[in-house]
Structure 1
Amino acid sequence: MPLTYLLTGSTGGLGSLVLDYFTSHFPPTQETTHGVSYAASSSNPSNSNRFTSKGIPFRTVNYDDPSTLDVAFKDVENLFFVSTNTFDVEKRRRQHLNVVEAAKRNGVKHVWYTSLAFGGLGSDSKAAVQQAHYMTEDMLRESGVNYTSIREGIYTEAFPLFINWYPQSTTLYLPSSSGKIAFTLRSELAEATAKLMLKGGHDREVVLLTASEPVSAQDIVDVINDTTDREVKIEIVDPETYVRINAENDIGGKAEGFFRQLVGWFESIENGEAGFTDGLMGEVLGREPVTPREAVRGLLEGERDYTWHQNYSK
């Protein structure tokens, strides 16, 4: 029996939310009624029980081990291919090549790849983090496999990471603050991604999912202050000072290398690479996506001392 959808990244942030959409709309126990079959996956086989105990089929998908991919991809029609989160570009290239080659080898009909939105729908972003995504899109294009690359907006939920804000922060030292980011709620990205896959189409295309209103770091700080009665301010410093001050004083214990990498992100943001928007997300959702200002306000109203896990090194 063919498997309609194999969902990778099922224990991660975006992947788990995509799986939640499937389970809430297509209960695994009612497959004979709705006709949509799907399986969760993880690189760690010990995670299987958290899914199978709920009646959700499970397959082991280890991007470093092609033998697991050949087993997992057998009879798969649609593969939801979540990008790895390593910052090692060469490691990511090898892992992603393993996935693309296995998808081709096993006759997967459609690969849905989660890319990133730097540069919008273009292919000229200078952001280092975007280069591995371009590389993967090239792999898919050259493989002959049918694919859709979904360039996902930067998660609104991760706003503390970008401006290095903590509930204790009073002054944020940044290399710039005027560049715009089309922050997009991860929960809405997951819903839109699931709906996009279920609808199908967009063969051999790159698509962009974002909210409709890009905002600057200063805009975000204004929302923080208005919502929580804080008096957080931004101080613009040169890139070297930004790296030094934040690495020496970071509450989350992030290393100097992290902030050096973010200098490049800020340069791309200042050049407008993170501010592109597209109407597709609203079309797929059937409503306007929540704006970044509304989303940040909602997060802070729900938890005044909101934090984001990646802002902490452990």
Structure 2
Amino acid sequence: MMQILVTGATGNLGRVVLETLLLKFPGQNVSVLVRDEEKVLEFKAKGIHVFLGNYDNIPALETAMMNVDTVLLISAGDQGDRMQQHKNIIDTAKKSGVKNIAYTSRAMRNRDTLAHQLMEEHFLTEDYIKESGLNYTIFRNTLYMDVIPIFVGKKVFGTGIFQPAGDGKVAFALRKEMGEAMANVLANEAFENKTYTFTNNEAYSFYDIAEALTSLSGKVVTYHPVDISTFQESMRPSGIPEAMLQKVVEFNTDIKNGQEDEITSDLENKLGRKPTTLKDGLKTLFEL
């Protein structure tokens, strides 16, 4: 039976993947890499192997990958040198005799026209994995539906939605459903150098989000597609760091340019059911 190491296990996506894997594998066949020492006992209580370390700690990675044949690399955050961290995982896996690697990438239409350049690192990581000679499975995940409350803000029912995304659409899906689908693939399928693109069965604009929130709340929510400069000036008084504001603008630019509207049946097929719709997802996320 597979011996799998899940990196990034304390993050929201990692936890979902892990929960589903533990329904399919005994704990002794699952290992996790965690950064926070306080989380060690929590994971040990589940009967799994726990290793303390991070993507920059090569000796810790080598220890965690001993006797492991499969690694799930959950993409690193952008606080450090993400590409080097990913290379550390991939290089250590190859050196340690790991046979299979899976990676959580992003569903973007065209890497050559991205506004959000950090997204290019996902494609560079894919390239590096393919060049490594390891058997791979790549999961290209759509933008989480879970981020919509962050995008539109807590006061959306009073102010409406102001985003520089134009008429662009996103095939938003719930993070927990993508994590579940990933675990299903890891548990049931061989690593045959495949790429899965996990999206919802429909793509949604911010007009659709406004309409759904209006219907759910009984309060009129309107989407105002503003230009970038107007959006930036409206956000700066909130105190948002300039670097974060630029990321939000880049996300919206890619949405406007159609980078996020690809639709496939991969998520439905690997879940074994239809993904949660926008309206049903927003009902849960906004507690309506």
TM-score strictly above 0.5? yes
Task: Tell me which residue corresponds to 1:154.
Answer: 143
Secondary structure in 2 matching 1:41 = strand
Return the offset for 1:70.
0.6
1:142 counterpart = 2:131? yes
Return the offset for 1:27.
4.7
Task: Tell me which residue corresponds to 1:310.
Answer: none
For structure 1, which segment, 209-218 or 18-27, has the greater mean C-alpha deviation from structure 2 after superposition? 18-27
1:55 counterpart = 2:41? no
| 223, 227, 231: which one aligns with 2:216 | 227
1:112 counterpart = 2:102? yes
Once the two structures are superposed, what CA deviation does each residue of 1:199-221 show, in whole Å capped at 9, x if it has no partner?
22352232211111010011111
One-letter code of the match for 1:68?
A
Task: Tell me which residue corresponds to 1:13.
Answer: 12
CA contact (8 A) 2:111 2:120 kept: no
Equivalenced residue count is 287
Distance, in Å, in 2 between the alignment partners of 1:173 and 1:282 is 31
1:283 counterpart = 2:280? no
Return the offset for 1:269.
1.0
One-letter code of the match for 1:72?
A
Once the two structures are superposed, what CA deviation does each residue of 1:219-240 show, in whole Å capped at 9, x if it has no partner?
1111111101222223232211
Return the offset for 1:261.
1.9
Distance, in Å, in 2 between the alignment partners of 1:172 and 1:265 is 15
Return the offset for 1:101.
0.5
For structure 1, which segment, 142-151 or 163-172, has the greater mean C-alpha deviation from structure 2 after superposition? 163-172
Distance, in Å, in 2 between the alignment partners of 1:20 and 1:167 is 33
| 80, 87, 108: which one aligns with 1:97 | 87
Tell me how large the CA RMSD over aligned residues is.
2.0
Distance, in Å, in 1 between the alignment partners of 2:26 and 2:96 is 27
| 66, 71, 74: which one aligns with 1:79 | 71
Distance, in Å, in 2 between the alignment partners of 1:50 and 1:158 is 27
TM-score by length of 2: 0.92
Task: Tell me which residue corresponds to 1:124.
Answer: 112
CA contact (8 A) 1:8 1:61 kept: no
Task: Tell me which residue corresponds to 2:162.
Answer: 173
Once the two structures are superposed, what CA deviation does each residue of 1:30-52 show, in whole Å capped at 9, x if it has no partner?
x6xxxxx1122212344211111
Secondary structure in 2 matching 1:187 = helix
CA contact (8 A) 1:83 1:96 kept: yes
One-letter code of the match for 1:106?
S
CA contact (8 A) 1:209 1:281 kept: yes
CA contact (8 A) 1:78 1:111 kept: yes
CA contact (8 A) 2:178 2:198 kept: yes
Secondary structure in 2 matching 1:39 = strand
Structure 2 alignment gaps of length 5 or more? none
Check 1:226–1:4 CA distance in 2 against 1; reply closer, same or farther (3 A cut).
same
Structure 1 alignment gaps of length 5 or more? 32-36, 305-314
CA contact (8 A) 1:44 1:62 kept: no
| 170, 193, 196: which one aligns with 1:204 | 193
CA contact (8 A) 1:243 1:256 kept: no
One-letter code of the match for 1:276?
E
One-letter code of the match for 2:73?
F
1:292 counterpart = 2:264? no
Distance, in Å, in 2 between the alignment partners of 1:298 and 1:20 is 20
Task: Tell me which residue corresponds to 2:35.
Answer: 43
Once the two structures are superposed, what CA deviation does each residue of 1:80-105 show, in whole Å capped at 9, x if it has no partner?
110011155xx001111111100110
One-letter code of the match for 1:230?
K
One-letter code of the match for 1:104?
K
